Amino acid sequence: MKMVSVVGARPEFIQATPVSKALRAAGVHEVMVHTGQHYDYAMSGAFFADLGTPAPDYNLEVGSGAQGKQTGEILARIEEVLITEKPEVVIVRGDTNSTIAGALTAAKLNIPIAHVEAGERSFDRRMPEEINRVVADALAAQLFCVSRTALRQLANEGITQGAHWVGDVLYDAMLQNLPVARTRSTIVADLGLRPGGYSLVTIHRAANTDNPARLAALVTALSAIDEDIVLPLHPRTRAALLRDGLEFGGRVRTIAPAGYFDMTQLEENARLIATDSGGVQREAYFLSKPCLTLRDETEWSETVTAGWNKLVGVAPDVIADAWFNFSPPAQQPPLFGDGRAAEKIAWILREFAVEQLNEDARNARAAYTAGPVHTEVSA
């Protein structure tokens, strides 16, 4: 039984790892396809090294590009792989251009799709990620939801068949790796930081980086905060700052993109996290850190409802006010499962693939028995 896993961007390497391990433990032959959407060592190779992610069987090396070009390149290159490998299932995750390209190609080849992190919505179709999610969910045969909210959202859209609430594989990854990260990472001490004495920030969303006014507002806001801030810079943000001639000042320290162990240690020891990342919002919740989301909306609305995440947008006065005054409640409901989402996904997919194979066999038998009738020709 063969399944192709498509990965391409940083969060996909992290999310894929627990699922890969569980699939392989369940006896599935997994073929790992890296689209090459992210390619710098700090954005890609470092995660395979930290997490022990299986090395890609294929690297399509598509690199960066405009939305259509990047998506189109992945489509063309992944098609050849799927035709060669003939998997029973193609697994895509999240909402990147690698996700939509993997899903679209599989759909056109009539290969069933599994979408991990299905049903998330920001309800803002200006985001490329929203388009990617909606299309992947429309095409998927098996949909794995991180939360009950996502499962309900799929039902609202009429998608119930094959939809499961399994929990968040990002939570699995954190539980599996936190003990190792604590012993291996020295980043907090290396940066001269005191646990609980700094805040952690990440910014990379197109809505914040491609819009000079929003980026400038964020630079102004963070530079004015009277607390040490560590900001691992996504290459997209680094390029946008250069483009606009902007620099962080005050107590903001920008560093290279962090590896997974370093990142989780920066998160675990921070007083507060401020981010526009989907994954970092959830990780703040897993680690019980107050989170300010530097956006006007979020897919992770349950963390806001629970009182642990606050949408602050980019206005400097709003951010300054929330920075020292936002205080989550004592209670924290378990929103993201029990840390065994990957195992559940693996077993559901295995069963699904077995059914597919049986159905294929039934169809082949039916075609054979209903085939052309042999007519005796008398000599």
- Residue 280, interface with ligand UDP (CB under 6 A)? yes
- Residue 11, interface with ligand UDP (CB under 6 A)? yes
> Is the Cβ–Cβ distance between 168 and 337 less than 8 Å?
yes
Query: Minimal distance in Å, beta carbon 278 to ligand UDP?
Result: 4
Contact partner, 257, from ligand UD1, ligand UDP, none, Cβ < 5-8 Å per class: ligand UDP
Question: Could you say which of 4, 6, 7, 14 contacts ligand UDP (CB under 6 A)?
Answer: 14
- Residue 92, interface with ligand UDP (CB under 6 A)? no
Question: Could you say which of 18, 278, 290, 337 contacts ligand UDP (CB under 6 A)?
Answer: 278
- Residue 294, interface with ligand UDP (CB under 6 A)? no
- Residue 56, interface with ligand UDP (CB under 6 A)? no
Active site residue 204: yes
Query: What are the φ/ψ torsions at residue 85 (nearest 5 degrees)?
Result: -85, -25
Which residues, 6 or more positions from 326, have their beta carbon under 8 angstroms from its beta carbon? Answer: 272, 290, 292, 310
Q: What's the rounded Cα separation, in Å, for the pair 42 and 120?
A: 27
Which residues are paired to 145 by β-bridges? 165
Residue 374 CA: distances (Å) to CA of 351, 364, 365: 37, 18, 17
- Residues near ligand UD1 (CB under 6 A) are 9-11, 37-40, 43, 64, 95-97, 128-129, 204, 235-236, 239
Cβ distance to ligand UD1 smaller for residue 54 or 235 = 235
The one catalytic residue among 34, 38, 115, 204: 204
- Nearest one of 23, 66, 62 to 350, comparing CA atoms: 23
Q: What's the rounded Cα separation, in Å, for the pair 288 and 28?
A: 35
- Nearest one of 302, 312, 353 to 119, comparing CA atoms: 302
- Nearest one of 97, 52, 106, 49 to 72, comparing CA atoms: 97
Contact partner, 72, from ligand UDP, ligand UD1, none, Cβ < 5-8 Å per class: none
Cβ distance to ligand UD1 smaller for residue 166 or 280 = 280
| SS3 of residue 27 by DSSP | coil
CA 321 to chain CA centroid, nearest Å: 30
Cβ distance to ligand UD1 smaller for residue 80 or 210 = 210
Query: Minimal distance in Å, beta carbon 59 to ligand UD1?
Result: 13
Q: Rule CB under 6 A: which residues touch ligand UDP? A: 10-11, 14, 202, 204, 232, 257-258, 260, 263, 277-280, 283
- Give the residue numbers annotated as catalytic, written as ranges: 204
